[in-house]
Amino acid sequence: MNAIAVERGETEPSLLDVPEPTPDEGEALLRTLRVGIDGTDFEVLDGNHGGFPAGDEYQILGHEAVCAVADPNGTDLTEGELVVPTVRRPAEGSREFFDRGEPDMAPPGTYRERGIEGAHGFMAEFVTTPAEFLVPIPDAFAETGVLIEPMSNTVKALELAFASRSLFEWEPERALVLGNGPLGLLTLAMLQPTVERSYCLGRRDRPDPTIDIIEEFGATYVDSRTTPVSDIADIHEPMDLVYEATGHAKHAYDTIDVLAPNGVGVLLGIPTEWTFDIDGGCLHRELVLGNKALLGSVNSNIRHFETAKESLESLPDWVLERIITDVYSPTELEAAFDDSPDRIKRVIDFT
């Protein structure tokens, strides 16, 4: 069958002919419909994540998928039913966090991640997955369901943010999203019912489709080339909530300055080493005197996928149409993985 993978030693994806997988007991055989491409896929191509699946000379990419059940194989699933698979799987002998439904909280080393680290992803005509890691979705989400996985990460991050502020009265009015990629834009969309004013940071010139979407929400586009993050509180206003999805490490520390008293910044980017100066005294003081919080958040669990499914249902059609900008067949690999700025969410369609 066709699969999009990175071969050992390569940094570009290839279309490979690989054996069709056979489901083990408890696993369903799935026919892949669509798989989204995101920043993590490029990190995998660059070798910034963990190892390849044991014994294999290639890693199949893709962790944002919508599939149809091809063979329930004795599970409770129904042939033809649509599902979204979660990403993490237990490493050998490490089921503790999975058994309690919290694979997203499992410590590094105790899990593998489909399409990212130590396990093949979903960019293949067929995949197998234990039924416990599948979230059934309505047929209406066949085309847009690829957004459920990224949205589930935001659901979890925002849940953590709200929990950290749950002991006092806290109703965020102003939110800043750092990053205007697909995850940033989806988060901006998800925040609209909650906050009164929102801002989204990018580094793009107009005309630009992401700026158009930001402004269609009534949100304010902030160009990081002219407005450094540390100046946003003065130039615009302090923020109750900051969501970081850039992986630009300085943003994590600048977030402390942008936050209003009692605010929370939630970080999702995964940068590599970078040493720089900070006024660590002032930032520490700000955190304390302002009762501020900085939270890291990674991955998500089934409950977050379920909430993301509801959240996807409530997004306006125009958002979905304008975020999923490009759909490619597996043979159009080069175009699909070409990172030009006029495209937002790119999707591989296997049907």
Residues binding its own copies (CB under 8 A) = 100, 102, 104-108, 159-160, 163-164, 166-169, 249-250, 252-253, 260-262, 267-298
182-191 and 148-164 helices, crossing angle to 10°: 50
Beta bridge partners of 347: 36, 327
Q: How many CB atoms lie within 10 A of CB 220?
A: 16
Contacts of 61 (CB under 8 A, 6+ apart): 4, 5, 6, 13, 41, 44, 45, 115, 121, 123
Could you tell me the smallest distance in angstroms from the CB atom of residue 253 to its own copies?
Answer: 6
Could you tell me the smallest distance in angstroms from the CB atom of residue 11 to its own copies?
Answer: 20
The annotation status of 153 as a binding-site residue, yes or no, is: yes
The annotation status of 186 as a binding-site residue, yes or no, is: no
CB-CB contact of 145 with 84 (8 Å): yes
Report the residue number, 111 or 141, with the smaller CB distance to its own copies: 111
The annotation status of 2 as a binding-site residue, yes or no, is: no
The annotation status of 204 as a binding-site residue, yes or no, is: yes
**In whole angstroms, what is the distance from residue 81 CA to residue 63 CA?**
19
The annotation status of 268 as a binding-site residue, yes or no, is: yes
Report the residue number, 54 or 167, with the smaller CB distance to its own copies: 167
Could you tell me the smallest distance in angstroms from the CB atom of residue 282 to its own copies?
Answer: 5
**In whole angstroms, what is the distance from residue 128 CA to residue 149 CA?**
17
Could you tell me the smallest distance in angstroms from the CB atom of residue 248 to its own copies?
Answer: 9
Residue 51 is classified by DSSP as P
Nearest to 245 by CA among 318, 190, 287, 206: 190
The annotation status of 73 as a binding-site residue, yes or no, is: no
Report the residue number, 8 or 284, with the smaller CB distance to its own copies: 284
**In whole angstroms, what is the distance from residue 156 CA to residue 301 CA?**
8
Could you tell me the smallest distance in angstroms from the CB atom of residue 276 to its own copies?
Answer: 5
Report the residue number, 298 or 315, with the smaller CB distance to its own copies: 298
- Token digits for 142? 């066949």
Burial 94-117 (b: 16+ CB within 10 A, else e): beebbeeeebbebeeebbbbbbbb
Report the residue number, 2 or 194, with the smaller CB distance to its own copies: 194
Report the residue number, 73 or 194, with the smaller CB distance to its own copies: 194
The annotation status of 255 as a binding-site residue, yes or no, is: no
Instruction: Pick out the residues of the known binding site for substrate.
Output: 40, 113, 149, 153, 299
Instruction: Pick out the residues of the known binding site for NADP(+).
Output: 180-183, 203-204, 268-270, 297-299
Instruction: Pick out the residues of the known binding site.
Output: 40, 113, 149, 153, 180-183, 203-204, 268-270, 297-299
